[in-house]
Amino acid sequence: MTWNFLSKTDSPVQLKEKFMILIGFVLYCIGSLNFLPDEYRHLLMSTTWPVMLFSRGSQIYETYTVKHTGNLSIVTTSMSLVGAAIRILTTLKETGDMVVLSGYILSGSLSLIMFIQYWMYLERTNELENKKTTMKEDEKESKKDK
């Protein structure tokens, strides 16, 4: 999807780059399936944690810094929170795998923080949105007057 989007911009993904990604993916699969000992396979699940912490952590920090949520969707945030809770409960009941469970707990915790931030900064977000709408209306009126 990203490659399709980038094909419509000034910097599309070249065929050479796509080929390199494919080779990297194949080598990763071969390496992890054939050479990684079974006792270390759990580490593959935990490799997503730094990415999750960086992506959601950056969003949480930025929201805290600007004190408003911008265009953060409460529907998406709520669905992420509920989904994480369901995955936690399912993992507890079905497998109890601590590596998988801790990843879901991390995801749920970050979603919960974003959910709380939405409600904490809702008033400020609405103020800024109203201010932006008022400014746009004033611009339209000033263009009509000219």
Ordered mean pLDDT values, 10 residues apiece, the chain (146 residues):
71 84 93 87 85 92 91 91 95 89 94 95 90 83 72
Q: Examine the domain organization and report whether 78 and 136 are in the same domain.
A: yes
| 40 inside domain | no
pLDDT of residue 146: 62
Q: Is residue 98 part of a domain?
A: yes
pLDDT of residue 142: 76
Residue 43: per-residue pLDDT? 82
Q: How far apart are the first and last CA of the chain?
A: 44
Expressed as residue numbers, the domain containing 140 is 45-145
Clarify whether residues 69 and 135 are in a common domain.
Answer: yes
91 and 27 part of one domain: no
Structural domains in the chain (count): 2
Q: How far is CA 23 from the centre of its chain?
A: 26
- 67 with 125, same domain: the answer is yes
pLDDT of residue 101: 92
Q: Characterise 50 by phi-psi region: left (phi > 0), alpha (psi -120 to 50), beta (else).
A: alpha
3-state DSSP call for residue 47? coil
